[in-house]
Amino acid sequence: MRAFLRLGLLLVLANVASYSQIFLSVTQGEVTSGLTNGGALTVTAPALSQPVDFMVSVTYAGPGVLRFSGAPRLAGSSDFRNGSSTPADTTLASGQSVAVPVRFLASTAGIASAQLSWAYSETLVETQVARTGAIVVRMNGLAPSIDLGYSFSLDGNFNLLPMTDGVLPFPPTPINSTTSAEMTLLNRGTGPVEIASIAVTGGAFTMTNRSLLPATLGTGTALRFQVRFQPRTNGSQQGVLTVRYGNGQTHQVTLRGEAIASYLQYQFQTGTDAPAAIAPNSLVSMPATPVGQRASATIQFTNTSPFDISIPSIAVSGTGWAIADLPFTPLTMSPDSSQFFTVSFAPTQPGVALGRLRIGSDTFELRGEAQGSQLQYRYFVSDREVPLSAGGTITFPNSTIEETSNIIVSVTNNGTSAASILTVSVPGATGSGFSVASFPPLPFSLAPRETFRFNLRFKPVTPGATTGTLRINTDQFTLYGAADQLPDFPEFTVQGPQTTQAFEQPRIALVLSKAYPVSVRGTLALAVESDGYAVDPSTQFSTGGRNVTFTIPAGSLRATFSNGIQEIRFQTGSVAGNFLITAAFSTTAGTPITTDSTRALRIGFSQTAPRLVSGGVSGRSPNSLSLELIGITTTRSLTKLTVRVKPRAGYQIANAEYTQDLSGPSMLWFYSMASMGYGGQFVATLPLQLSSSGNGTPGTDLVQAIESITVTFQNERGSSDPMTVSVQ
């Protein structure tokens, strides 16, 4: 069987070797590719009416002679044509070729199909046997078709632009606003096209959202971008949009736009005056208005465009300017519709007040003249003039106690009418050292451009900084003076116990060795040196926190805390260690006071054996019992647990006493983050499981055999007092 198969294969190979060999290829430009007889060839035109020339070559490699009778024939779409004449009768010996030139000239964007055929006969040299056949090549022609169009959001209509002499008309657009045209390049053809570049010229026209170029636009795909019209000046504007394709074609479109002042028409009316037309970017003036009074005007605006207009917001800026009776925004106005609102001017000081009004994208400059008096302040110190405004600060040179400093204060009326000076005073001057002198009897009138002066004095009565207030009519100024060289601060003592225990509240006091002539404020700080890895968060002053403020009035010896008390308590907590209480001082103005004393109160809190606070039964069943015990261990550690079970009369309990090592569980708890909020306090739950010796009756309540349970905890400092929990 294997020999038969091999023999058949050899016979077939021998037969194949006797057939002719005809090879086809196509050449377009410098690119040549092979074809099969009867196969298909696809040709893509760069554009409509742009020819593509290519050659279909036939090469004979057989053992005879190949003769073509007649010329090759093209059937199908007329877009395919013979490029030039081909000899009607052609003979090819082995190794010879003949080329058939073809031209594809796309007339439509659809697929153009044609077939090239050329009949032949082949005569074999050895046998002189003649065979006939035909060369057949099917051809498909593709071509792109580009449309350029645009649409505006105002109407949403899509409009096509011609390849030449196209015009894109933008709707009238207000100055400094933007109208965008959504541009679309769509390939409706059957072949791809390359978009080489897109450019926009013209000062008011720009392009946005354009893809990276060059880019290939495939069949049925689109490229989108925006052309924006944003005029800065009034009148007609023109630009050019140019789209260049890889095939050499160009779409050139003229961009045209008209810049207008606004889509809206405005009218401005004050009081009973006739309405006056106003335009965006113009100056709108209000009537002269006295300080403290209000002038109002009505602004009406009408949509004069043929489409709906959206007003996102209406706002005003500038001191003294306000708007009222506003329509709800965002506001949509239909053609010929109108709206109105009120703009008001309420000046607070004389002079010219400017503002700005914005209605959508339209802006107006506002101007109002305020009538009234306006006081300007200055003061002179060390031959130097210092400008001063209401609410400002007058600073005296540093002095010593009992030394008087003088400052001259100048007041000038820069307004348009006389000012009445009703008050010149230093409220609360007693004890501050500030006073005024040398001004005319009050009240008096200060004419426009007139000035008056007075003396301001500072004679400090206490060292350090002193502040006060100067009042001229309703204007107030801060007065600041300072006296040098605070006296040395006396020795002091923080008084309290030397030792304490858990959850005590010792009293703390601070006493000076001698009275100080200046009022002092200070802070006691409580620091904790813990012996147990953590600090009990309940360790704090009775007022809360580990810092407490106090005052020492001038001439006093003892610190006074809140509510006028002269002692403050603090909570010791439940963790052994040391408490360190320190004091810091400053003047009432906040100047730190340096002390030579480094005294601090150290209070010891010794480690003790555990102490049980409470205990009880937390759960029970016929054969189990659970105890909950609450206690304190100042070392934040437990080493041992002892449990003694006392039976009721008539019962016996084996193993009535047992102990348990608590070192491991204790370390896990007291070194955990969860324990930090409890200090040395702990809650222990003891589950007890009971079983009978075998003589009990099933279902018996074994817990009834227990009268009480006594528990003892130990740490490194000893054992707690036993706590007995009654079970029955």
Q: What is the pLDDT of residues 508-527, one digit of tens each?
A: 999 999 998 778 899 999 99
Q: What is the mean pLDDT of residues 38-66?
A: 90
Q: What is the mean pLDDT of residues 95-101?
A: 90
Q: Name the pTM for this structure.
A: 0.43
Task: Map 608-674 to HEC letters.
Answer: CCCEEEEEEEEEEECCEEEEEEEEECCCCCCCEEEEEEEECCCCCCCCCEEEEECHHHHHHHHCCHH
Q: Does the CA dihedral 228-230-236-240 come out positive or negative?
A: negative
Strand partners, 341: 299
On whether the CB atoms of residues 575 and 679 are closer than 8 A, the answer is yes
Q: Report pLDDT for 4.
A: 30
Amino acid at 664: G
Q: What is the mean pLDDT of residues 289-303?
A: 90
What's the pLDDT band for 165 if we cut at 50, 70, 90? confident
Q: Report pLDDT for 18.
A: 41
Residue-wise pLDDT tens digits, 594-618: 886 667 899 999 999 999 999 999 9
pLDDT at 402 exceeding the cut of 60: no
Burial of 124 (0-12, 13-18, 19+ CB in 10 A): middle
What's the pLDDT band for 6 if we cut at 50, 70, 90? very low
Q: What is the mean pLDDT of residues 227-244?
A: 91
On whether the CB atoms of residues 313 and 330 are closer than 8 A, the answer is yes
pLDDT at 68 exceeding the cut of 80: yes
Q: What is the mean pLDDT of residues 24-48?
A: 90
Q: In 10 A of CB 175, how many CB atoms?
A: 19
Q: Report pLDDT for 543.
A: 92
Residue-wise pLDDT tens digits, 308-364: 888 999 999 999 999 999 999 899 999 999 999 999 999 888 888 899 999 988 899
Q: Report pLDDT for 691.
A: 80
Average pLDDT, the chain: 87
Q: Report pLDDT for 599.
A: 74
pLDDT at 694 exceeding the cut of 70: no
